[in-house]
Structure 1
Amino acid sequence: MGAQVFDRELKKGSAELLILSLIEHKARHGYEISKLIEERSGGVLKFNVASFYPLLYRLEERGLIAGRWVEKAGQRRRRYYRLTAQGKEVLKTQRATWLDFVNAIHRITEAENA
Structure 2
Amino acid sequence: MSPVFGHGRLRLYLLKLLEESPRHGYEVIRLLQDRFLGVYSPSPGTIYPRLARLEEEGLVTHEVVDGKKVFSITDKGREELDERLDELADLEQEISASVRDIAREVKEDVRDTVKSLREELTKMAKDVRTGQKADIQRLKEEQKRQWTQNVSSWQGESERLKHEWRRIWGDIWTTIGGVSPNRVELDNELGGMLADFVGKVREEASESQLTRERLEEVRKTLDTASRQIRDSLG
State the TM-score, normalizing by the size of structure 1: 0.68
State the aligned residue count.
92
The 1-side partners of 2:92 and 2:30 are apart by 24
2:63 corresponds to: 68
Give 1 or 2 for the bigger CA radius of gyration.
2
Aligned counterpart in structure 2 of residue 96 of structure 1, from 83, 86, 96: 86
Write out aligned runs for 1:14-25 (5 A): 14-25=9-20
Contact 1:38–1:45 (CA under 8 A) maintained in structure 2: yes
Q: 1:40 to 1:62 in 2, by over 3 A?
A: same
Contact 2:22–2:72 (CA under 8 A) maintained in structure 1: yes
1:31 correspondence with 2:32: no
1:11 correspondence with 2:1: no
Find runs of 4+ consecutive structure 1 residues off by over 4 angstroms.
100-103
Contact 2:25–2:44 (CA under 8 A) maintained in structure 1: no
Q: CA deviation at 1:23?
A: 1.3
Structure 1 runs not aligned, ≥5 long:
1-6, 72-76, 104-114
1:83 corresponds to: 73
Q: 1:100 to 1:29 in 2, by over 3 A?
A: closer
2:196 corresponds to: none
Which of the two has greater helix per residue?
2
* RMSD, aligned α-carbons: 2.2
Q: CA deviation at 1:41?
A: 2.3
Q: Identity of paired residues, percent?
A: 32
The 2-side partners of 1:101 and 1:29 are apart by 23
Q: 1:56 to 1:102 in 2, by over 3 A?
A: closer
Structure 2 runs not aligned, ≥5 long:
94-234
Q: Greater RCO between the two (CA within 8 Å, min separation 6)?
A: 1
Greater CA drift, 89-98 or 79-88: 89-98
Q: CA deviation at 1:101?
A: 7.4
